[in-house]
Amino acid sequence: MMNETPRSSDSSSSQSIQRLPDESDDSHGHGHGHAEAPARRHGHLIVRAYLRFRSVLLTVMACIGLCSMLVFIASGLFGLKVMVVKSGSMEPTIGVGSMIVSMPRKAVELKVGDVITVSYGETKRLVTHRIVQSEGCAGEKCTFVLRGDANAAEDPYKVNIDDATWHWLTIPRLGWAVLWVRTWPGLATMAGILTVTFIALFAVPGQRESS
């Protein structure tokens, strides 16, 4: 009779032992995820704020561009002229630093009470004053007496003209900005603003969502 070789009853010795996940590792992983969440939310807030700012900036620039285009078209069609008032002779109607918009008009169409801009006196400087008296017309030419609203007396020179620029619109204080932009500090500031605007419009946010 052959002797049988005894078999081991411990079947677990022939199987690989699987390592259970350590609780400390799991808690460490969750802690890292929680740390990343606020940073990711902060990044989203930055991107949303940037996109909102860019949208507002684009809207403002579109409005400015539209207004500029309308002024350009109106200047060509109606001969509008834009000037800045540098003296207070027409206050309070037209204050110093105001920007005025005028359009050409024939002298025979003008009447007492109109505000016009004409080349005045021996220096031919531009003066914006009100017509206070009309001395009649000879053909296309008319003679007017002018006076500034803030002046007590009429202008010393009468004007004999066949046309003038008739005051149409006043924009208070905007003239100061126009004059300032023509200076070197103003030009430098505008160049800086345009540079920042260009960067804000075309820069791509650096935030990216991690997978």
Question: What's the pLDDT tens digit per position in 93-114?
Answer: 999 999 999 999 999 999 999 9
Question: Domain 81-172: which topology?
Answer: Umud Fragment, subunit A (2.10.109)
Question: Tens digit of pLDDT for each residue in 142-184?
Answer: 999 999 999 999 998 899 999 999 998 999 988 888 888 788 9
Confidence of residue 39 (pLDDT cuts 50, 70, 90): low
Structure tokens at 32: 């890292």
β-pair partners for 83: 100
Eight-class DSSP state of 190? H
Q: Which helix (H) or strand (E) holds 128?
A: strand 125-138
Q: What residues contact residue 50 under an 8 Å CB cut-off, 6+ apart? A: 205
What are the domain boundaries of the chain?
35-77, 81-172
Question: Tens digit of pLDDT for each residue in 124-147?
Answer: 788 999 999 999 999 999 999 999
Euclidean distance between the first and final Cα of the chain, in Å? Answer: 70
